[in-house]
Amino acid sequence: MWAPSRHYSENFVLFEPGILARLLLINWPRGEILWFLETLQLHGSICTAKVSRMGANGDEATVDPLWYKDAVIYELHVKTFCDSDGDGMGDFRGLIEKLDYLQELGITAIWLLPFYPSPLRDDGYDIADYFDVNPNFGTLDDFRAFLDAAHQRNLRVITELVINHTSDQNPWFQKSRRAVALAGVDGPGGVRSTSGAAVSTHGDNDDLAYKDFYVWSDTPEKFKDARIIFKDFETSNWAWDPVAKAYYWHRFYSHQPELNFDNPAVHEAVEKVCDFWLGLGVDGLRLDAVPYLYEREDTSCENLPETHDYLRKLRAHVDVRFPNRMLLAEANQWPEDAAAYFGKGDESHMNFHFPLMPRMFMALQMEDRFPIIDILEQTPPIPDNCQWAMFLRNHDELTLEMVTDEERDYMYRVYASDPHARINLGIRRRLAPLLANSRRKIELLNTLLFSMPGTPIIYYGDEIGMGDNFYLGDRNGCRTPMQWSPDRNAGFSRANPQQLYLPVTIDPEYHYEAVNVENQQKNLSSLLWWMRRVIAMRKNFKAFSRGSLEFLYPDNAKVLAFLRRWKNETIVIVVNLSRFAQSAELDLSRFAGYVPMEVFSRNLFRPIRKSRYVITLGPHAYYWFALQAPTDSRRALKKRVAPTIKAPAELEILLGNSQREQIEREILPNYVRTCRWFGSKARTFRHLKVIEQLAISPDADGARLWFVEIDYLDAPAETYAIPVKIVSGEAARSVSQAAPHAIIAHFAGSEGAVLFDAIWDATFRSQLFEAIVQRQSIKGRASDLIGIAGKRLEADYSVASGKSQVLVGEQSNSSMLFDNKFFLKIYRKLEDGVNPDVEITRFLTERVNFPNVPAFVGALEYRHEKSDPTVVCLL
């Protein structure tokens, strides 16, 4: 039975049902829920989500090519996340079920660890087949379905391009070793292309085409200056192959032979792999172990010029075929060498900042900002189209390759006193155990992660503070099943617990019965909710993702303070690295007059003056302050003089390129601040945009209905309806007299022509009325206005349409009367979804015939393909 939704009284219809349900479940007071949702910008993000190219059918033109700069990436292995078929291993179908969770967390991209057929002796970084999905995790169709489901949610997908090495089980290696056995290391190889096109052949055995796919040698004495990376497992970079009767080169495990990039057929094979996955619609590729592609005598065999040449070639290949995709290099190097992987903006788009990562931990433990500032000052500037990838933890050990010997000793002492925690040159622990499960420290390091210059990457499970189990060997202790609930197998799988790919964490401090998503979703003070808030807040400010970095140097070295700036945004970040309260004096004199707003509470702190700005911080406390220009709102409150537009007085061309800028940057922002119906006067504008212009009448000089989207620095975006019209001569004079506040602008030299709010125009009012009662359909650029008339429409309405008046004393909306019989309300702030006024009055009128409220006659709805209908007018 049709009935008003019971959500109305709670005003919740706008919000995502999953989150709402959970909030209601835990009985949180309504006011606080709204506050939280607003902070999370859920309304903004759900209602205004723009679909850009994500899948094959998307619209390429709408993609921001720099999307990766604004991303928040979540790293996971499909096997760890959710097991849909009860075999003890996570799979793509399970991952699809958890996409809502990831979307609610606020991340914008998923980085998938390798999921290809593999013996899994290096967790999938040992690939046996580059063109398929490991059957343990599903099928290629499952992967496609996942990609599609992720794109539907505006989540991008980054996969692994592991090209430095393969598994020794890969058919390429099997053929290669047989060919070497046949022809010898220096014997004739095939330079035949793997696509079958014969470039030249030396012998009729098909294996020969693969002979030089790997780096073979008769002696293990070559390339002696290359270090061994997996120190705890390997003693040489050469391994003897009893089939080939020769040595092959490997930088990682001995079962991972290195591909030979001196062989052009390898380039060709890699391009095919790359095209395959990008062709499916993958948005980005992580280039595993990219510094080691080439080998040269008397070098470290890392970062060779040949490697950079190759990377440029690969990038050009991708750019030509797949615009707007992203390459993320894994180059674990010192800052100069790492930055070289950006080239001149023509190698990788992104690269991990490996040297910064351990220094954030170091600074926290030393209670001194020096390690962070020092390494960032050593980091060269990077091309505009490039971005660092920032992370605290990942699937590997916390690597200490990019620190000095003393620093490594220090890190081991303070973060890995138990020798079991050490592996290779690093520490195999998750974030929470590294920080002794201190909530304050976890928040502090995440605050740094989200405010450092780069794109943050969250390792799965760290958002709920999962523990680890280093007794599981290798790096498996950080790869245990995701903890969803206190149920069997942490809600990860229905399998027999003994069948799980790894046991769930039962360490008493991090036991899955206590540390899990379900528990934390119910508790708004949990780490999970904190992460959601901080991610949402970061996304409110482009300064974090694109802005410059400038350190402030207060005398107190325990306090790290820096600015992130982008266009009109300035964020001051202040972090107390100490476990005790601290105070610091910041030199912010150049911002004298500005007011720091603490972004989570929106509290205004005392204004900045020429003198030092004194700040006090509790133990491990942190602040994000958005600096607010002092003038914005006060200026608007002064009496406004309508500005002049130097352009022809024609609505058709008014939003053309030259005037649009003036209208959106200056005229409308100043105008709306003077309007009674505009409720966000105290907020700071980021920008205003006219997103839709609908012609209420076909006449060239008829009114238009503008939908104006306003983005704020300190609040979620809002959309307002402003009907506009241009009149001149006598008509202009009479509007100026009757409603001077409705004048938006004058036109230079056009018989006193004015642009004004069209509710003051009788013709427009009548057209609005007619649009409803005649059930008109008005087409816009990407939307429609639809007139809906109810059952109570009287036949004689036509008389009323011409007799209208505006009701003065407007509040948050504007109202008018027709023939003293019909009341029409224009909603100024537009909200997606069912409108409670419409639904309730319609129900009372049409279903229960309730005589004591004004009857529902009709409404005007704005329908946009990507969101729920929005009611613009109610009659």
Q: Give me the residues that bind ligand NOJ (CB under 6 A), please.
A: 122, 125, 252, 288-289, 330, 395-396
Q: Least distance (Å) from ligand NOJ to the CB of residue 379?
A: 22
Residues near 204 by beta carbon (within 8 Å), at least 6 away in sequence: none
Helix (H, G, I), strand (E, B) or coil at 519: helix
Q: How far apart are CA 320 and CA 55, in angstroms?
A: 18
Q: Is 288 a catalytic residue?
A: yes
- How far apart (Å, rounded) are the C-alpha atoms in residues 45 and 325? 23
From the list 330, 474, 664, 709, the catalytic residue is 330
Angle at 313 between CA 311 and CA 315, to 5 degrees: 70
The SS3 of residue 461 is: coil
Between 289 and 788, whose beta carbon lies closer to ligand NOJ? 289
Quick one: 626 exposed, middle or buried, by C-beta within 10 A (0-12, 13-18, 19+)?
buried
For residue 365, the minimal CB distance to ligand NOJ (Å) is 25
Shortest spacing between CB 288 and ligand NOJ, in angstroms: 5
Nearer to ligand NOJ, 127 or 800 (CB): 127
- 396 or 443: CB nearest ligand NOJ: 396
Residue 395 CB, nearest approach to ligand NOJ (Å): 6
Least spacing, CB of residue 118 vs ligand NOJ, in Å? 11
Residue entry with tokens 């427009």: 764
For residues 216 and 224, the answer to whether their CB atoms sit within 8 Å is: no
Q: Which residue in 352, 269, 271 sits closest to 318, CA to CA?
A: 271
| Side-chain half-sphere CA neighbours of 289 within 13 A | 22
Region for 547 from its dihedrals, namely left if φ exceeds 0, alpha if ψ lies in -120 to 50, beta otherwise: beta
Minimum Å distance from CB 162 to ligand NOJ?
6
Q: Distance between terminal CA atoms of the chain?
A: 25
Alpha-helical segments (H) within 468-559: 517-522, 527-540, 542-546
Closest CA to 676 of 785, 807, 818, 804: 807
For residues 83 and 160, which CB has a smaller minimum distance to ligand NOJ in the complex?
A: 160
What residue has token string 């999962």?
Answer: 466
Whole-angstrom Cα distance, residue 760 to residue 724? 9
Classify residue 852 by burial, with Cβ atoms within 10 Å: 0-12, 13-18, 19+: exposed
**169-to-119, 207, 376, 396, 656 alpha-carbon distances in Å:** 8, 15, 42, 23, 61
Helix (H) or strand (E) segment spanning residue 157: strand 156-161
**What span, in angstroms and rounded, lies between the C-alpha atoms of 261 and 265?**
8
Given the complex with ligand NOJ, which of 39 and 256 has the nearer CB atom?
Answer: 256
Nearer to ligand NOJ, 289 or 382 (CB): 289
Q: Which is nearer to ligand NOJ, 44 or 114 (CB)?
A: 114
- Per the DSSP assignment, residues forming a β-bridge with 423 are 426
User: Is 636 within 8 Å of 681 (Cβ atoms)?
Assistant: yes
Q: Pick from 609, 604, 606: which is nearest to 592 by CA? A: 609
125 vs 310, beta carbon nearer ligand NOJ: 125
Which is nearest to 844 in space by CA: 769, 786, 791?
A: 791
Q: Show Cβ contacts of residue 773 under 8 Å, excluding neighbours closer than 6 positions.
A: 787, 789, 793, 797, 801, 857, 858, 875
Half-sphere exposure of 293 (CA within 13 A, CB side): 28
Q: Of 252 and 678, which has the nearer Cβ to ligand NOJ?
A: 252
In the three-class reduction of DSSP (H, G, I as helix; E, B as strand; rest coil), residue 582 is classed as: strand
Catalytic residue among 83, 168, 288, 718: 288
Closest Cα to residue 115, out of 88, 154, 142?
142
Judged by CB, which is closer to ligand NOJ: 237, or 870? 237
CB 451 within 8 A of CB 544: yes
Give yes or no for a contact between 543 and 521, defined as CB atoms under 8 angstroms apart. Answer: no
Count of residues making up the chain: 875
Residue at shortest CB range from ligand NOJ: 125
Closest to ligand NOJ by CB, 47 vs 113, is 113
Q: Does the active-site annotation cover 377?
A: no
Distances (CA, A) of 105 to 26, 220, 521, 528, 739: 19, 50, 11, 8, 47
Q: Which residue has the tokens 């476990």?
A: 579
By beta-carbon proximity to ligand NOJ, the closer residue of 126 and 839 is 126
Closest approach, Cβ 256 to ligand NOJ, in A, equals: 6
Closest separation in Å from C-beta 227 to ligand NOJ: 14
Neighbour-count burial of 602, counting CB atoms closer than 10 A to its CB (0-12 exposed, 13-18 middle, 19+ buried): middle
Nearer Cβ to ligand NOJ (469/526): 469
> Residue 228: how many CA atoms within 13 Å on its side-chain side?
13
Nearest CA to 806 out of 817, 796, 795 is that of 817
Q: How far is the CB of 432 from ligand NOJ (least distance, A)?
A: 21
Active site residues: 288, 330
